[in-house]
């Protein structure tokens, strides 16, 4: 009778333990704050990871319950290195499965179309938790570290959104962006128009960067590229303000004066014929395609409409262009004289 009673008690205890365990595995954990993460590092065993969970505020379940769950779902001894989101409301099963399957936290960094190398590097320096390896490198040292010593860095990194994980470096991200630009430039150059005035891929990259900076709306890229391509064929000066601004560097204070247009620099396309020596910004894939496949036409000039839309007026003759400039200046003056718009109700 004693043995029967002991067996019944043992069975009842095991059943109660199983009931408690089953409820623990799929119940939302408590103590997690939004935005909390857990870092599984190389060499961490399961007890170490469990201590990190406790330190993050997870008090649910006994250690033996976590260990039983890890064995049941095949996570014991298979937790992958990386950073994991501790999402409020997640269950122990979901947390361990994520670490078993390597569902680590990823971050995003976007290189914006039209950024120059200074803007790109400044944004990278603020990207957390990206490991900073290039902060002490000047542009020449940076390109050497990337394996392209002697190459100017401007325009060499493709505008795109790049994912990275904790532990990745800014140098690694730039390497990916450089390789992506090389591939995009190859693709654009291989599909170039037969009558392009561009001599090589570097010239295509330079023109694409100018098109990127001159474009107010994306649909006009081929038209703007067409104007510059025709000017290059005719030997006309490009006369594009973004190159002048780039050549001014830190002297640029938000506006271009007449003396800036006549002050010679390697980037002043009002004083020097042809393309500038390097790109002036990071062009996107669409600008690369426009530069190598410009729209046909006979326009040699363009100027902003001045209505806030970003559109341009494209004209064929200098007289037509001067008329469009006068209309632009008239709209500009009217906008300067108009009273400020009323503030919306608070």
Structure confidence at residue 344 as a pLDDT band (50, 70, 90): very low
If asked whether residues 213 and 266 sit together in one domain, one would say yes
pLDDT digits (tens, 9 = 90+) for 299-333: 999 998 888 888 999 999 999 999 998 998 888 78
If asked whether residues 206 and 325 sit together in one domain, one would say yes
If asked whether residues 133 and 169 sit together in one domain, one would say yes
- Asked if residue 8 belongs to a domain, the reply is no
If asked whether residues 180 and 222 sit together in one domain, one would say no
pLDDT digits (tens, 9 = 90+) for 239-254: 999 999 999 998 988 8
Within 10 A of 217 (CB to CB), how many other CB atoms are there? Answer: 10
If asked whether residues 210 and 252 sit together in one domain, one would say yes
Q: Which residues contact 89 (CB under 8 A, 6 or more apart)?
A: 28
- Asked if residue 13 belongs to a domain, the reply is no
Give the per-residue pLDDT at 10.
Answer: 47
Mean pLDDT of all residues belonging to the chain? 90
Range of the domain at 57: 24-101
- Asked if residue 6 belongs to a domain, the reply is no
CA distance linking residue 44 with residue 75, whole number of Å: 13
If asked whether residues 210 and 312 sit together in one domain, one would say yes
- Asked if residue 47 belongs to a domain, the reply is yes
Q: Which residues contact 155 (CB under 8 A, 6 or more apart)?
A: 181, 205, 206, 208, 209, 278, 279, 280, 281, 282, 283
User: With 50 as the cut, is the pLDDT of residue 9 above it?
Assistant: no
CA 46 to each of CA 18, 41, 81, 88, 192: distance values in angstroms, whole numbers, following the listed order: 21, 11, 12, 21, 57
- Asked if residue 132 belongs to a domain, the reply is yes
Contact 277, 203 (CB under 8 A): no
User: With 60 as the cut, is the pLDDT of residue 339 above it?
Assistant: no
- Asked if residue 251 belongs to a domain, the reply is yes
If asked whether residues 159 and 31 sit together in one domain, one would say no
164 beta partners: 107
Structure confidence at residue 2 as a pLDDT band (50, 70, 90): very low
How is residue 255 annotated by DSSP? -
If asked whether residues 210 and 261 sit together in one domain, one would say yes
Of 235, 229, 245, 237, nearest in space to 290 by CA: 229
Give the per-residue pLDDT at 310.
Answer: 87
If asked whether residues 305 and 256 sit together in one domain, one would say yes
If asked whether residues 84 and 133 sit together in one domain, one would say no
Reported as half-sphere exposure (CB side, CA atoms, 13 A), residue 301 has a value of 13
User: With 80 as the cut, is the pLDDT of residue 343 above it?
Assistant: no
Q: Assign 327 to helix, strand or coil.
A: helix
The residue from 129, 158, 185 where one domain ends is 185
CA 213 to each of CA 44, 101, 190, 208, 264: distance values in angstroms, whole numbers, following the listed order: 50, 44, 23, 9, 20
If asked whether residues 326 and 228 sit together in one domain, one would say yes
User: With 60 as the cut, is the pLDDT of residue 223 above it?
Assistant: yes
Within 10 A of 11 (CB to CB), how many other CB atoms are there? Answer: 10
- Asked if residue 330 belongs to a domain, the reply is yes
- Asked if residue 196 belongs to a domain, the reply is no
What the block records as the tokens of 154 is 């401007």
pLDDT digits (tens, 9 = 90+) for 129-172: 999 999 999 999 999 999 999 999 999 999 999 999 999 999 99
If asked whether residues 216 and 181 sit together in one domain, one would say no
The residue from 101, 121, 141 where one domain ends is 101
The residue from 59, 80, 101 where one domain ends is 101
Q: Supply the DSSP string of 86-118, one letter for each residue.
A: --TT--HHHHHHHHHHT----EEEEPPTT--HH
Domain count for the chain:
3
């Amino acid at each position: 009778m004693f043995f029967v009673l002991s067996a019944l008690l043992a069975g009842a205890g095991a059943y109660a333990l199983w009931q408690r365990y089953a409820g623990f595995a799929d119940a939302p954990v408590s103590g997690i704050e939004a935005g909390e993460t857990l870092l599984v590092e190389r060499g961490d065993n399961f007890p170490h990871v469990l201590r990190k969970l406790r330190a993050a505020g997870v008090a649910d379940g006994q250690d033996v319950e976590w260990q039983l769950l890890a064995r049941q779902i095949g996570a014991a001894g298979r937790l992958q290195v990386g950073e994991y989101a501790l999402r409020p409301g997640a269950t122990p099963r979901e947390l361990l499965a994520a670490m078993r399957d390597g569902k680590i936290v990823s971050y995003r960094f976007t290189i914006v179309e039209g950024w120059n190398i200074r803007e790109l590097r400044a944004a990278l320096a603020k990207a957390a938790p990206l490991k900073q390896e290039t902060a002490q490198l000047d542009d020449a040292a940076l390109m050497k570290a990337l394996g392209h010593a002697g190459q100017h860095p401007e325009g060499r990194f493709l505008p795109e959104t790049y994912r990275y994980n904790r532990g990745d470096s800014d140098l690694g991200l730039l390497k990916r962006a450089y390789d992506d630009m090389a591939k995009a430039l190859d693709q654009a150059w291989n599909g170039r128009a037969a009558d392009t005035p561009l001599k090589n891929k570097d010239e295509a990259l330079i023109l694409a960067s100018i098109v990127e900076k001159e474009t107010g709306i994306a649909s006009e890229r081929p038209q703007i590229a067409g104007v510059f391509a025709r000017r290059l064929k005719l030997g006309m000066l490009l006369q594009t303000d973004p190159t002048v601004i780039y050549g001014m560097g830190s002297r640029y204070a938000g506006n271009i004066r007449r003396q800036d247009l006549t002050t010679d620099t390697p980037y002043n396309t009002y004083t020097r014929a042809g393309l500038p020596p390097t790109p002036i910004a990071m062009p996107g894939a669409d600008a690369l395609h426009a530069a190598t496949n410009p729209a046909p036409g006979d326009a040699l000039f363009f100027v902003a409409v001045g209505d806030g839309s970003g559109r341009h007026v494209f004209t064929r003759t200098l007289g037509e262009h001067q008329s469009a400039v006068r209309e632009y200046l008239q709209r500009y003056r009217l906008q300067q004289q108009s009273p400020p718009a009323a503030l919306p109700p608070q």
